[in-house]
Structure formats: structure tokens, C-alpha cells
Structure 1
């Protein structure tokens, strides 16, 4: 059975995801949901893998991402030796090879793609693209980085772990939708 890439993102009404390398909003309940989804495992002897581009990793408030194995993609290479459970790869193909390694498979449960824009786009083109966990923030923030258009091969599905309906928190409204790639083969 192939592993599944699950993408997770929060985007505002114009699909913006960042301004000057930072989220343009602070929504505590959405952040808690994001950390729970990316970190939660059924088998407590394992962790989830999060895959992130270099720029997103460098600007993240979490280095490394908590309770996860971190895969950082950097074409020029990156020294991540100071961070526990963190690996650097020069390409998504190298990261996929590690995820397919029989010994490494014993260490992780799920693989989450957490940004940025270029990594999301690249994952869409792989056979491992499974789902997008998409938070829509109801406000058109000024952004300079945007979530790429989803492929036409996705359909709306339900996941009982995802909050339902419109949520209000810290002066913001948002909703979470889950989209599944209809071409993903188990």
C-alpha cells in the first residue's frame, strides 16, 4: 500500500496563505486543530512526518515541528543537525525514497505536507497525493503567497476528526473542508 500525502493549509478568501513569510491572522482554535492533526498518531511508538519547504521551515514558529519527524526540502541543501527528528532533502523524490524505506516505515504513521506554495504544487503531481485539509478563513487578507489551485480531481469528503461548520474565534470566522483525490489508488 502506498503512503498518502495529506496536505494541510489555511487560506483566506483570496487563497492567500502568507504575507512577508508570516500568517496574516492568529486564530488559536485553528492553530490547535492544525497541531493536533499533524501530530496525532494511533500508534504511540511512531510519529507523523511533516514535509515543508526551506523558506516555510525557516519562518516557522516551530523548529522543528512539534512531535513530528521533519522533512525539509531545500535544493541547495540545509544544515538541520541542530534540530531533533529533522532531515534535509534536496528534492521531493529524495524525501519520497526515505518514506518508502522499509526500516523508516516502522517510524512513522502519516505524512503531512505543510507548505509552502511550491511544495503543495509539486505534491499534486505525485501518485501519493491523497487529501487536502483546507481551512477557509473568511476575510480577504493582503497576502503575497497563495495556495495553488486544487486539481480538478478532488471531491469533498468528511473526516470525523475535523471541526464541523463555521467556527468563530478571536474575531475570525473559518470553516474546514477535506478534499480527496479521486485518482489516488490504495
Structure 2
């Protein structure tokens, strides 16, 4: 798969019933998972850009409508005036696009120039689903809980994705939740 010779990876934390969000927020707070997310989506390159992330508008707003530090954010919104309304016009670290293809095209171009080999898709539900056909690798944090009243869910992984790495079970003291990090790769993907 990949996109313009750049690996496309997805990263998410999901519950046992695949929930990724509730009321436009994560349904839990696990510090180790947030650290894992930061470590995975940034790569010291010596340059100003250390990561590229693609997300939907709601995901961007769930993060306080601020681009992530050291990363360039591509925000997909159908609202034509979203960049103006959000104060993002002229920003180097955040670009509003109106569809996934534009996000991937611009992100891949930026990745080549910044010597980054991966574009990260970070949510939400619709963006994960649309990007699956381009995705080479998926990094999931499996959180051992069921979220009964969640309203955003991670899609079922296509059968060509196989587990290539898995951490031991971990425990978060504050939330009381168990979790593990699992890496899936599309078979026949480099």
C-alpha cells in the first residue's frame, strides 16, 4: 500500500468493544498511552518537523484546537472557512484540507522534504475508515474495558493485517485499567 512511497500508519487506543471516543474525548486517561502516542508520532530528524499527523476536525477540536508540538497537522474539514474560523491561516504547523486525498498528497510531499518515512492517521472514526485502504501499519493500544456509551469506534481491521509485535500487559494505577500495545502490519507490505 503506502502513499507516494511514504508509509501510512494509524494509531489509536481502543476498548474491548472498539470504542475510541465519547463526547469527543478519550474515554480514559492513561499517561503511558499518551507517551506512547508522542513517541510514535515524533521522530528526531534534526529539522523543525518531527512528525506528520492527519486527523478529522472533531479530533483536532478534542485536542483543544491546537496543533501538536513538533508535528505538522493536516485537519480534514468539509467546512470551507474552517481555517479562517480556527485561526489557522498562514500557519506552518497546521493545514486545513477538505478530503483525505488532499491530506495524504500534501503530507507525503512534506514527508519527503522532511526525511520522514511515515504519515500518521490519528482519528477519528471516519478518517480511520477512509484511510484503511492506504494503511500499511496500525499501532493499537488495547485497553481492557468496555465503554457502553461510547460514540466513536475504531473500524474492524481487514484480515490482511497481522500482529507483528505485542507488549506485555501493563497496568495504569490512576485509571485502574490494564492495556497493551499491539503492532499490526498489512501482509505483503514492506
TM-score, normalised on structure 2? 0.85
2:164 to 157, 165, 175: 157
- Name segments (4+ residues, structure 1) moved above 3 Å: none
Tell me if 1:119 matches 2:127: yes
CA contact (8 A) 2:6 2:111 kept: no
2:36 is matched with 33
CA contact (8 A) 2:108 2:119 kept: no
CA contact (8 A) 1:64 1:84 kept: no
1:6 to 9, 20, 23: 9
1:166 is matched with 169
Q: Which runs of 5+ in 1 are unaligned?
A: none
1:92 is matched with 100
Identify, as 1 or 2, the structure richer in strand: 1
How many matched pairs?
177
Deviation track 1:74-121 (CA, whole Å, cap 9, x = no partner) reads 1223212275511111111112221343x7621251211100011111
Q: Which runs of 5+ in 2 are unaligned?
A: none
* 1:71 Cα offset (Å): 0.6
Deviation track 1:14-53 (CA, whole Å, cap 9, x = no partner) reads 10011111111111111111111112x1422242100000
1:175 to 174, 177, 180: 180
TM-score, normalised on structure 1? 0.87
> RMSD value over aligned CA atoms?
2.0
* 1:61 Cα offset (Å): 4.1
